[in-house]
Amino acid sequence: MHPWHSRGYLPHLDQSGLVQHLTVHLADSLPSHVIARMEAQVALLSEVEQIGARRKRIHEMLDSGLGACVLRQERCARIVVEALHFGDGTRYRLLAWVVMPNHLHVLIEQLTGWTLARVVQGWKRHTTREINRALAGSGQLWQREYWDRFIRDERHYRRVVEYIHDNPVKAGLVAKPQEWPWSSASG
């Protein structure tokens, strides 16, 4: 398989040994009318500017707490954290993570034999089943796609870890990263 591929809208670089920053969000966290408004705003920018602006605005929308935010509930957040730790060392190396009310950020190093799609699909399948069971619900929990970005160098790595750990602070949920219980920053 060629390392660059697409399953639809987003291109993905998928190769063992890469360190990847993944953002996965709940299905209801980015309503279609909000995305349409954002796309209209981004369309006014140059093609090069659109990529960064789209990513920045999506992260801002996620941090604003759109949707039901079921991951704000302790039992749901715990299910996600346990799923992330389950594959650590066998499917990927878990480097940093944070579970937010309606999305999660994960920094992993890909291990041989496990594509990003397979790793994320495993997280989504398990957590959907367990969260639906915990909430006596049913149906789709996660957005179909996910965002990934490979880490280019040590400086980029440090910035991403800081971004992940600071996400609850930036969203106004806590004053310090260590205070958010659903993060690798909390120890």
- The yes-or-no verdict on residue 131 having pLDDT over 60 is yes
pLDDT tens track for 109-119: 999 889 999 99
Q: Are residues 172 and 96 in the same domain?
A: yes
Q: Are residues 48 and 103 in the same domain?
A: no
- The yes-or-no verdict on residue 31 having pLDDT over 70 is yes
**pLDDT band of 12, cuts 50, 70, 90:** low
pLDDT at 5: 45
- The yes-or-no verdict on residue 145 having pLDDT over 90 is no
Q: Are residues 54 and 79 in the same domain?
A: no
Domain count, the chain: 2
pLDDT at 11: 63
Q: Which domain holds residue 40?
A: 30-64
Which residues are paired to 24 by β-bridges?
104
pLDDT at 73: 96
| Whole-number Å distance between alpha carbons of 38 and 140 | 23
- The yes-or-no verdict on residue 105 having pLDDT over 50 is yes
The answer as to whether 150 is a domain residue is: yes
Q: Are residues 81 and 57 in the same domain?
A: no
Q: How many CA atoms are closer than 13 Å to the CA of 90, on its beta-carbon side?
A: 7
What are all long-range contacts of 156-163, with beta carbons under 8 Å and residues at least 24 apart? 157/19, 157/107, 160/21, 160/96, 160/107, 161/95, 161/96, 161/107, 163/105
| Whole-number Å distance between alpha carbons of 120 and 140 | 15
pTM, whole model, 2 decimals? 0.84
Give me the amino acid identity at 164. I
